[in-house]
Structure 1
Amino acid sequence: MNIIFLTITRITGISERGIYTDLMREFRNEGHQVYIACPTERKYKQNTNLTKVDGVHILSIKTLNIQKTSLIEKGIGTLLLESQFLESIKKYYDNVKFDLVIYSTPPITFTKVIRYIKYKYRATTYLLLKDIFPQNAVDLGMIKENGIIHRYFKNKEKRLYSVSDYIGCMSPANVDYITSHNKTEVGKKAEVNPNSIEPFLKTISNVERIAIRTQYNIPLNDTVFAYGGNLGKPQGIDFLIDILIHNNNKPGTFFLIVGDGTEYLRLKLSIDKLKSKNILLLKNLPKANYDQLLLSCDVGLIFLDKRFTIPNFPSRLLSYLECHLPVIAATDSSTDIGDTIVKNNFGTWCLNGDLSGFNKLIAEYCENIAWRQEMGNNGNNFMMKNYLVQQSYQTIMKHML
C-alpha cells in the first residue's frame, strides 16, 4: 500500500527514534511505500524539497516558524499550514495513489488536505489524536471559552473528526472524552491506540552508570528524579518550581531536568536564584545522549497543569518505562495516566499542586530502593505488553483488511 503521513514534526529520516518515526519505520518494514509530508520551518533556511531517506519519501514543506516561536508567528504559521501542505502535496505527490492517510494532532487544520486525498483516491483516513484542541487552550486560559477564536477552532476540530474514518486515542479516557463531546462527528470511530515505540531494550552496567553520572557531575549515590520533555504551560511549571525550592540542597536527592519550551527561561531563572547543588537543568540533548543519561537515573517525573479538563497522556512516559524507571505523576484529575500507573504498580500519583503529597513520595523513593526497582521492572513489562509500535501498526491495519 501507499501510505502518507501528515505531521508538523520535522522529520529528516526515520532512523531516529520517536513515536512517529518508529511507526513509519514499522510500515516500511512491513513492505508498504511510505510518504511523509512535514514542515521545514523558515529558521532552517530551506526551500520545499522532496527526498528519499531510509527507504521513505519525505516532502519537507517550507513554512513559517510554528514551534518555539512567538504566539503571533505560530498563529499565522499554523493558519497557513493547510494551504501550504495542500499545494505542495499536489505538486510533488500528485502521481501517487494513496491508500491510507495517517495524521496527528496538533494541528487540527489539515482537513482540506485530508479531504482532498481521501476523495481523490478513496483513501482510508486515520487520525492519531495526541492533542485535544482548542479545549486545552481554554483550560489554560489562553483563549476565551465560546469566544470568536474558540468557536473558529472548535469548528475546525469537528470537521477534522468528521473527515476521519478512524480515530486512535491515547487512552480509554481519551476515547470517552471525544466521543461524549463530539457525538455527531465521532460516533463509533474512536478506539484506543496509545503512544507506542520500538524499544531499544538496553541496560547499563554499574561502571557505565558511574561514568555517566560523573560526566554530568551528578552525585553517585543520590536518588535522581528525572524530567525530560516540554517545559511549557501544559506542564504547570509553577509546581515544579515549588518542588525544587522546597527540596533545594536536600541531602541524597537530585533533580535532573532536560527540555525546552516557553517556560524554560522562567524555570532557569528560578533555579539560578537557588544556587542549588542538587539541580541540573539541560536545554535539550540528542536523543541517544538523553537515553543514556536517563538510564543512570532512578525515577521519572510527569507533570500536567491541574486546570486541565481533558485527559492528556504524555508520551514521555515511554522513555521512563524503557529505562526501567518508576514514575511519579503530578497531574490534573481528568487524565487517566495516574490510574494506569498506580493500577499496574509502576509508580505513584498526586494532584499537581499537592506539595506535601509529592514530597512524601520523594522520601519514599529515596528510602526504598528495592521497591522502586520492582516498580521500574513492572513498568518495563507493562510497556512490552501494551506500548509496542507493532501493536499500533496492527490496530491501524485491521481497518485495511
Structure 2
Amino acid sequence: MRSRICIFTEHYYPDESATGYILTRIAEGICAQFHVQVFTKHLGRGVEPSSGNHHIRNQVHVQRCRGTHLDKNRVANRIVNIITLSLAMFWRGVFEVRRDDVVLAVTNPPTMPFVVMMVCLVKRARYVLLIHDVYPDVLVATSLIRSGDLLARLLDWLSSLNYRNAVGVIVLGRDMKERVLRKTTEIRDRIHLIPNWADTGEIAPAGKTENRLLKEHALCDKFVVQYSGNMGRTHDLETLLGAATMLSNDANIHFLVLGAGAKRKSFEDAVRSAGLKNVTILHPEARDHLDVLLAACDIAIIPFIGGMSGISVPSRMYNIMAAGRPILAVADEDSELGLVVREEEIGWVVPTAQPRRLAETIREIRLNPGRLTEMGKRARQAAESKYTFPAILAQVRKVLTDAARMSGSNHASA
C-alpha cells in the first residue's frame, strides 16, 4: 500500500511563481510512489479551476483553502493574507491529515511550518520541512524587524523548535545548511542539501539574432544585461540602477528588466526620473516562454542585498545555466550563488552595494566575448551534469520515502 504525502504550500498550479512551479513539479513527480494530497490557497474569483475547491490534476488531489486576497505588496495586507490562510489551512489539516501521513511543508509564507508542526502534533503525524527562506533572518536582512529584539528572538526560537520536530529538513545550499545548523545542531543527521533544478528539457541555449523579445525592442545589436524575476525586498535593484546610470552614455550596453514585486514601482519611478534610455522594463513573461526570455541577453544578473548568504538561494540561477548564459552575481562571497558561479567558472561575483564596481565589471565583460561564450557553455554543461530534474527529484523522493518508513513503523508498533 502506498503511503500518502500531504503537501502544504501557499503557491501551486496554476500559480506561476517559483514556489508554485517547484511544488507542483515535486507533487506530480512523486505520484508513482505515493498518494499525493496538496493543501493550497484559493486563487480567487475568476481564476479558480472549474472543478472548484477540490480537484485532481495529474493524479494529485488538490484541496484549496480560502483566505483573503489583499494587495501583497503592502506589508499590512500581506500579514492579513498570511494569517487568514494559515487559519484555514490549520483547520483543514486537523480534519484531513492522518496519523500515518508524511507532511511536506515549505517555508513560504513563514507561518506555514508552524501550521504544519501544530497539525502534526495534534494528529501525531510526521513532517519534512523544505526551506526556501530562513526566518526570521530574511525579515532582519530586509529591515522589517531588528536583530536581537523580542520578536526576532521569539521567531528564532520557534524556527529552531520547528527544525527539531521535523523528521527531515531540506535546504537549498551549503550556506543555508550552515546557517540552519547554527540555530540547532541537533538535526545534523537529518538535514539534507538538495538544490533546485534546471529545466534542461524545456530550456536550451539559443542565439540572440532571432529572439522575439530582443527583436520587439530593437536590442539584437546591443550588449544586453538582463534581470528577470521577483523585484522584491531581498534584491539589490539599487546597485543595478546605479550601474545603469553610470553606463547611460554607453550606447552599446542595455539593461532589460522583467519582473514584479515590492520594488518594481520605485525602480520604474527612478528610471523615469533619471531619464535612463538604456533600461527597458517589461512585465514578467509566462513560464511557457521562459526559454525565449532567458535567451534574451548576453549575461544574466542576479542581485541580492548584503547579508543574504544562507537565507535564500535563487532558483532561477539553474535555468539561466540551462539557457547557456553566464551569470553576474551581486552577492555575498560565501553565498551558494557566489560559490556556484566561481566553482563552475560561469560568471562573475560582485560585492553588494557597489554600483561603480558593477558598472566597471560590465564594461570589462562586454570587451571579452570569447570568455563570455566559454562561460555560457560551461553553464549549460553544469546544468546537464548536476542539476537535472530527475536527479534532484530522486533526492527529494528518498527523503520522503525514509520519512514514510519511519511513520509506517511507528504506526505499526503503536
With normalisation by structure 1, the TM-score equals 0.88
Identity of aligned residues (%): 16
Q: How far did 1:343 drift?
A: 1.4
Change (3 A) 1:45 1:254: closer
What is the aligned length? 393
In structure 1, what is the equivalent of residue 90 of structure 2? 86
Matched, 1:64 2:68: yes
Tell me, yes or no, if the aligned pair for 2:224 and 2:253 is still in contact at 8 Å: yes
Give the counterpart of 1:18 among 4, 17, 21: 21
Tell me, yes or no, if the aligned pair for 1:10 and 1:40 is still in contact at 8 Å: no
In structure 2, what is the equivalent of residue 131 of structure 1? 133
RMSD: 2.7
**Segment of structure 1 superposing worse, 225-234 or 66-75:** 66-75
- 1:138 & 1:254 partners in 2: Cα distance? 33
SS at match of 1:356: helix
In structure 1, what is the equivalent of residue 197 of structure 2? 196
SS at match of 2:197: coil
Q: How far did 1:344 drift?
A: 0.9
Change (3 A) 1:106 1:212: closer
In structure 2, what is the equivalent of residue 154 of structure 1? 156
In structure 2, what is the equivalent of residue 240 of structure 1? 240
Q: How far did 1:193 drift?
A: 0.7
- 1:114 & 1:98 partners in 2: Cα distance? 15
SS at match of 1:238: helix
Change (3 A) 1:140 1:229: same
In structure 2, what is the equivalent of residue 208 of structure 1? 210
In structure 2, what is the equivalent of residue 287 of structure 1? 287
Q: How far did 1:388 drift?
A: 2.2
Structure 1 segments of 4+ aligned residues over 6 angstroms from their partners? 43-48
- Cα deviation digits, residues 133-167 of structure 1 (max 9, x gap): 11121123211223232233223312321221111
The within-5 A match list for 1:299-378 is: 299-308=299-308, 310-378=310-378
In structure 2, what is the equivalent of residue 166 of structure 1? 168
Query: Which blocks of at least 5 consecutive residues in structure 1 are unaligned?
Result: none
| Counterpart residue identity of residue 280, structure 1 | T
In structure 1, what is the equivalent of residue 261 of structure 2? 261
- Cα deviation digits, residues 332-384 of structure 1 (max 9, x gap): 34523212211111111010122232223212321222211211111111122
- 2:173 & 2:324 partners in 1: Cα distance? 21
SS at match of 1:188: helix
Q: Greater relative contact order (Cα 8 A, min sep 6): structure 1 or 2?
A: 2
- 1:384 & 1:220 partners in 2: Cα distance? 27
Query: Which blocks of at least 5 consecutive residues in structure 2 are unaligned?
Result: 403-414
- 1:53 & 1:6 partners in 2: Cα distance? 16
In structure 1, what is the equivalent of residue 408 of structure 2? none
Q: How far did 1:104 drift?
A: 1.3
Change (3 A) 1:67 1:343: farther
Tell me, yes or no, if the aligned pair for 2:309 and 2:336 is still in contact at 8 Å: no
Matched, 1:251 2:251: yes
Give the counterpart of 1:49 among 45, 53, 63: 53
Tell me, yes or no, if the aligned pair for 1:66 and 1:77 is still in contact at 8 Å: yes
Change (3 A) 1:373 1:52: same
| Counterpart residue identity of residue 22, structure 1 | R
| Counterpart residue identity of residue 275, structure 1 | G
In structure 1, what is the equivalent of residue 36 of structure 2? 34
Matched, 1:145 2:151: no
- 2:59 & 2:118 partners in 1: Cα distance? 27
Tell me, yes or no, if the aligned pair for 1:5 and 1:102 is still in contact at 8 Å: yes
In structure 1, what is the equivalent of residue 406 of structure 2? none
In structure 1, what is the equivalent of residue 410 of structure 2? none
Tell me, yes or no, if the aligned pair for 1:196 and 1:389 is still in contact at 8 Å: yes
Change (3 A) 1:314 1:201: closer
In structure 2, what is the equivalent of residue 221 of structure 1? 221
Give the counterpart of 1:74 among 78, 86, 93: 78
